[in-house]
Chains A and B, each alone.
Chain A
Amino acid sequence: MKTMKNSIQILAAVALLSIASCSDDDGVTIINEEELITTVELELTNQTDGTDVVLFKSVDSDGDGPNAPVITITGPLNANATYDGTVRFLNESIAPSENITEEVIEEANEHEVFYISTLSDVSIAKIDVDSNGNPLGVQTTFQTGAIGTGVLNVVLRHEPTKPNDGTLSSAGGESDVEVAFTFEVE
């Protein structure tokens, strides 16, 4: 009986001690999203006129936050011209900003960029390939036709089916980027 009483006292002491010792006052450190893609830049340079550069840009500085991306296009594309295209995916929520395109190129087998234009006169060819010889789509050639206004969708898929027939529906995978640019050809 006496041992019983003692053990209850010991238990109570252990309990109180461990509760007292558990308060933590560590500061909470900020986490900046590392894989966030805030910015999509598509730079198109006229093959015959190096000064004809058009930049399509979408910036969503708060990532999953409530603000919608801000889309800017520096000007129209010229009709019946050929442009070299380069796409960049950036995380500008951290300083210095991170170029996520490098990871996309490193893991080219697990990524593919898709470009879909409602202007059927604009034809887009992917000129880079992954190690299996399948298209990647960071480097492209844009061939414009007649004048008009249309929408260009730029979609980055992670772990798509490769090879695919070039359509979004056959590629599957997860969409990491899906941005629509309304652009003009004149």
Chain B
Amino acid sequence: MFTKQLVAIALFISFCYTNAQDCDLVLKGKIIDFHDSQPLSLAQIYVVQLQKTYTSTSDGSYFISDLCPGSYELSVSHFDCEVKKLSIDVTENKTLNMALEHHVNDLEQVKVIADVHDNHASTQSSTRINKETIVSYSGATLGDALSTVAGVSSLKTGNSVVKPIVHGLYGSRVAIVNDGLRQQDQEWGIEHAPNIDVNTASSIQVIKGASALRYGGDAIGGTILIEPNRIISNDTLNGHVILQGQTNGRGGTATTTVNNYRQSGWYQQATLTYKKLGDYDAPNYVLSNTGSETAAANLALGFKKFEYGASLKYSFYNTELGILRASHIGNASDLVRSINSGQPSIINDFTHDINVPKQEVAHHGLQLNAFKRFTGLGKLSLDYSFQFNNRKEFDIRRGDNAGRASLDINLQTQNVSLYGLIDRFEKTTYEVGIDYMNQVNSPDSSTGVRRLIPDYNANKAGAFVSVTHLPSENWILDAGLRYDFYKIDAEKFYLQSRWENLGYDQQFPEFEINEQGNQILTNPKFNYHLFAFTAGAKYLFDDHYDLAINLSTANRAPNPSELFSDGLHHALATIELGRLDLKKEQSFKINTTLHGNVGKLDFEINPYVNLINDYVQLIPTGLEITTRGAFPVYQYEQIDARLYGIDASATYDFWIKKKSVDMNVNSNEPIYDTVKLISLNSNFSYIHGTDSNNDLPLIDMPPAQWQNQLTWHNAIVQNLDFKISNQLVFKQNRFPDNNYEVSIPNDQGELITSIVDISSTPDSYNLWNAGLSYAFAKANTKINLTINNLFNTEYRNYLNRQRFYADDVGRDIQLQILYNF
């Protein structure tokens, strides 16, 4: 397998070196928006000496090849910017990135920036997912789109619940910021996916560390910034419609975005999405009850001038997700049976119906923003947001309780923040901010099932300051500091036997309120002081290389699940217990990023180390017998963790000359265009996580992964692209042994002691995907045909909680039609 891939790569490399020219210098780069770093597509670069115009692609990049050494005049324009002229000397292959300033005349309109990183003003390790990639995931989840980034993987429950893992960490350790609003959607749960429609994103930035202090200091894994469409101050109505259908799940997604911009500064944006899928298929059987239905709406109304603006946004996300029927089990014996049988215990005919067990989640977000720029100083921005999240989980129940939710939690969060940016100094930029959050969690008491997460009221107040300094053209230095005070006040019923068994009657007698039957009402209250600090430096060697190092240290308070969990977990037949005496986690992370851009090769290597003191993890502590049978007990515990790893990615483009359809007016000679022929893209990530107190591997660490993609541009006919990709996921050989023994009655009534193997990891697997895309009608309409899991490979994914019960999904043929207007 490997040899074949290597041979293929070698062949392409040798092929590429056959077309060297005399005048073969290349000028390339990216054109981005000065304010938000978003790529600007369709920017025009007119090279005066060549009398030719080049256009930036959808990711903002442009490529001018076959330049002879010399001076060139460039005139760069974008449809809502004034034309900017600049002259450059080209003596060698050069990367020239340009940031265009929109709709203003008091700032310089084109700023030439030297580095080639996505986030040009920072030392943090970050990767941006561009619009084109996001569009190709219109029928998938946010988590699926994020896993295209090296170092980001997914923690799944089935195929619909997909949580991002950044450098081995997930849940409360990863902050998701949707259009400036930190998402609060009960992200502490393993089977809780982010309630965000991927189609609302225009670009997504993944910051692999705690360095995005503006959005909170506790994201010790990373921060995911989801950015909406850029505001244009021009009379423009644009948008798109995407229809997607897929064979696996026999359903699809329809989504549309409409943006209306006025020169006056007023704008309206709307995105509507509806998705319906039935049961997924594994290669050999139907994954019964894995259908889903999702509806989402995002509406924005605003007024934006360069100096000031305000906006009102409302977002709604509603989803109903089936959970694999066979994964709902009664006790450890059922789990052993499922693991040993190798296929789901319940396989029904395909259906679009969603039955129990299932989740129903609704999320509402309301956001108000206003900003003002102060001449010669900077910008002040005030944000208020309100979020309401309701989660219902339905189990298999009997009698009158059938159809009633077993879990029904309302989480209401409000945020106010004031953010200031001081950018008047040429070499130094300051950012300051204060924010306050209030959160109320109220589980419904009519479920007839004891609350998994108790009623609580949490308050958080924080402040941060950060500075970016550019001492010379070659250096970027930045540093930041943040403090948060976090207070949580909960009211929870414990079983008296549990309260005493955990020793809380001795340790926390002050929390006890009263005894009711065999339960005790308690009022746990905790305060946490959270500090975060980040500092970094980046050195730009020349046009080709830059090296950045970033240190971040951050605290995270234990989440409500880690503090208060108490009860039976049906999917894994475990009793999970929180711990009231958890301290804050403290992480120290060093990210190093080497980026190179040499000729046609662009690569990035990002090694990192993350040392986490008092890392909270679930560990098995024993076995408890109940009327239902035996269950292993897991309790949260704090250890010191050591994570290190490396992400590497590279893109190589092969170009050829093609005869242009235009003729040179002066000489009647044919003109040759340089066009991209083949792009090769490769991503590799590896992570090593250890519990350093016990010298044991950490659980749920993503296995090493290698993804490769080959794109043949303009294959056979113009605008037809052919893609083939593969994803090689290695076996995770480092895992803690959490297996346990239970006595299970066999058919003869004898109690047989069996080992419940919940630790062993699935074998490595290699998935192949292929696709065709064809653009027509002036590239406004595009058709994508994609086949995922081309060979219908049977596999199980270590990071999918469904792996104990069933294979992962099989072949899927998707057709997507995109129309831009």
Q: In the complex, which residues of chain A have a beta carbon less than 8 angstroms from the beta carbon of B568? A: 64
Inter-subunit contact A107/B747 (CB<8 Å): no
Encoded as 1 (CB less than 8 Å from any B CB) or 0, chain A from 19 to 31 comes to 1001110101111
Across the interface, A174 reaches (CB within 8 A) one of B330, B436, B498, B631, namely B330
Inter-subunit contact A65/B448 (CB<8 Å): no
What residue in chain B is nearest A124 (Cβ atoms)? B749
Size bracket of the B interface: 35 or more
Q: In the complex, which residues of chain B have a beta carbon less than 8 angstroms from the beta carbon of A22? A: 412, 414, 438, 440
Given contacts A14-B368, A116-B747, A172-B346, contact A62 B495 (CB under 8 A): yes
The smallest C-beta distance from B461 to any residue of chain A, in angstroms, reads 12
Number of interface residues, chain A, beta carbon within 8 A: 70
The smallest C-beta distance from A8 to any residue of chain B, in angstroms, reads 5
A49 lies within 8 A of chain B by Cβ:
no
B5 lies within 8 A of chain A by Cβ:
no
The smallest C-beta distance from B625 to any residue of chain A, in angstroms, reads 4
A60 lies within 8 A of chain B by Cβ:
yes
C-alpha spacing A155/B442, complex, angstroms: 36
C-alpha spacing A49/B493, complex, angstroms: 48
Most chain B CB inside 10 Å of its own CB: which residue of A15, A111, A173, A178: A178
A11-41 contacts to B (CB < 8 Å): 11-12, 14-16, 18-19, 22-24, 26, 28-35, 37-40
B424 lies within 8 A of chain A by Cβ:
no
Q: In the complex, which residues of chain B have a beta carbon less than 8 angstroms from the beta carbon of A177? A: 627-629
Q: In the complex, which residues of chain A have a beta carbon less than 8 angstroms from the beta carbon of B493? A: 28, 30-31
Encoded as 1 (CB less than 8 Å from any A CB) or 0, chain B from 608 to 629 comes to 0000000000000000111111
The stretch that binds A, out of B100-108, B203-211, B462-470, B515-523, is: B515-523
Inter-subunit contact B626/A69 (CB<8 Å): yes
A180 lies within 8 A of chain B by Cβ:
yes
B451 lies within 8 A of chain A by Cβ:
yes
Given contacts A22-B412, A40-B627, A60-B626, contact A118 B749 (CB under 8 A): yes
A106 lies within 8 A of chain B by Cβ:
yes
The smallest C-beta distance from A181 to any residue of chain B, in angstroms, reads 11
Encoded as 1 (CB less than 8 Å from any B CB) or 0, chain A from 146 to 183 comes to 00001111010111000000011100111111111000
The smallest C-beta distance from B355 to any residue of chain A, in angstroms, reads 11
What residue in chain A is nearest B346 (Cβ atoms)? A172
B575 lies within 8 A of chain A by Cβ:
yes
Q: In the complex, which residues of chain A have a beta carbon less than 8 angstroms from the beta carbon of B624? A: 64, 66, 68
B733 lies within 8 A of chain A by Cβ:
no
Q: In the complex, which residues of chain A have a beta carbon less than 8 angstroms from the beta carbon of B337? A: 169, 172
C-alpha spacing A69/B248, complex, angstroms: 46
A134 lies within 8 A of chain B by Cβ:
no
Most chain B CB inside 10 Å of its own CB: which residue of A38, A157, A176: A176
Q: In the complex, which residues of chain B have a beta carbon less than 8 angstroms from the beta carbon of A157? A: 330
Inter-subunit contact B450/A33 (CB<8 Å): yes
Inter-subunit contact A60/B368 (CB<8 Å): no
Q: In the complex, which residues of chain B have a beta carbon less than 8 angstroms from the beta carbon of A144? A: none
C-alpha spacing A30/B516, complex, angstroms: 8
A51 lies within 8 A of chain B by Cβ:
no
Q: In the complex, which residues of chain B have a beta carbon less than 8 angstroms from the beta carbon of A86? A: none
Inter-subunit contact A63/B401 (CB<8 Å): no
A93 lies within 8 A of chain B by Cβ:
yes
Inter-subunit contact A110/B370 (CB<8 Å): no
The stretch that binds A, out of B9-17, B273-281, B391-399, B426-434, is: B391-399
C-alpha spacing A179/B368, complex, angstroms: 58
C-alpha spacing A180/B750, complex, angstroms: 10
What residue in chain B is nearest A95 (Cβ atoms)? B517
Q: In the complex, which residues of chain B have a beta carbon less than 8 angstroms from the beta carbon of A26? A: 442
Inter-subunit contact B333/A24 (CB<8 Å): no
C-alpha spacing A60/B749, complex, angstroms: 22
C-alpha spacing A103/B398, complex, angstroms: 7
Given contacts A35-B448, A151-B749, contact A178 B331 (CB under 8 A): yes
A29-83 contacts to B (CB < 8 Å): 29-35, 37-40, 58, 60-69
C-alpha spacing A111/B442, complex, angstroms: 34
Given contacts A150-B749, A174-B329, contact A60 B627 (CB under 8 A): yes
Most chain A CB inside 10 Å of its own CB: which residue of B495, B518, B749: B749
Across the interface, B449 reaches (CB within 8 A) one of A4, A31, A151, A175, namely A31
Q: In the complex, which residues of chain B have a beta carbon less than 8 angstroms from the beta carbon of A61? A: 518
Q: In the complex, which residues of chain B have a beta carbon less than 8 angstroms from the beta carbon of A169? A: 337, 746-747
C-alpha spacing A8/B634, complex, angstroms: 49
Inter-subunit contact A110/B442 (CB<8 Å): no
Most chain A CB inside 10 Å of its own CB: which residue of B329, B448, B492: B448
What residue in chain A is nearest B312 (Cβ atoms)? A11
A139 lies within 8 A of chain B by Cβ:
no
Inter-subunit contact A33/B370 (CB<8 Å): no
Inter-subunit contact A63/B495 (CB<8 Å): yes
A117 lies within 8 A of chain B by Cβ:
yes
C-alpha spacing A60/B630, complex, angstroms: 12
Given contacts A18-B386, A107-B398, A180-B751, contact A38 B331 (CB under 8 A): no
Inter-subunit contact A172/B345 (CB<8 Å): yes
Q: In the complex, which residues of chain B have a beta carbon less than 8 angstroms from the beta carbon of A15? A: 368, 384, 414, 416
C-alpha spacing A183/B749, complex, angstroms: 13
The smallest C-beta distance from A132 to any residue of chain B, in angstroms, reads 18
B528-549 contacts to A (CB < 8 Å): none
C-alpha spacing A32/B386, complex, angstroms: 33
B457 lies within 8 A of chain A by Cβ:
yes
Inter-subunit contact A174/B745 (CB<8 Å): no
Inter-subunit contact A175/B445 (CB<8 Å): no
Across the interface, A33 reaches (CB within 8 A) one of B448, B457, B516, namely B448
Inter-subunit contact B745/A168 (CB<8 Å): yes
Q: In the complex, which residues of chain A have a beta carbon less than 8 angstroms from the beta carbon of B517? A: 30, 32, 93
The smallest C-beta distance from A31 to any residue of chain B, in angstroms, reads 5
B637 lies within 8 A of chain A by Cβ:
no
Q: In the complex, which residues of chain B have a beta carbon less than 8 angstroms from the beta carbon of A158? A: 330, 396, 398
C-alpha spacing A168/B427, complex, angstroms: 74
B807 lies within 8 A of chain A by Cβ:
no
Inter-subunit contact A11/B368 (CB<8 Å): yes
Q: In the complex, which residues of chain B have a beta carbon less than 8 angstroms from the beta carbon of A69? A: 625-627
Inter-subunit contact B497/A178 (CB<8 Å): no
Inter-subunit contact A178/B333 (CB<8 Å): yes
Given contacts A12-B382, A175-B330, contact A68 B625 (CB under 8 A): yes
Q: In the complex, which residues of chain A have a beta carbon less than 8 angstroms from the beta carbon of B450? A: 31, 33
Given contacts A67-B501, A159-B396, list 20 more A-B pairs with CB under 8 A: A14-B384, A16-B416, A22-B414, A23-B440, A28-B454, A29-B445, A30-B517, A31-B447, A32-B519, A34-B449, A63-B495, A64-B624, A64-B626, A93-B518, A107-B398, A116-B747, A168-B745, A168-B746, A178-B331, A178-B630
List 14 A–B pairs whose Cβ atoms lie within 8 Å, in order of A's numbering.
Answer: A4-B370, A4-B372, A11-B384, A18-B386, A22-B412, A62-B497, A65-B495, A107-B398, A116-B746, A153-B751, A157-B330, A174-B329, A174-B334, A178-B629
Give the 10 A-B CB pairs with smallest separation, nearest first.
Answer: A178-B629, A116-B749, A174-B330, A175-B330, A34-B448, A15-B384, A103-B399, A167-B747, A153-B745, A66-B501
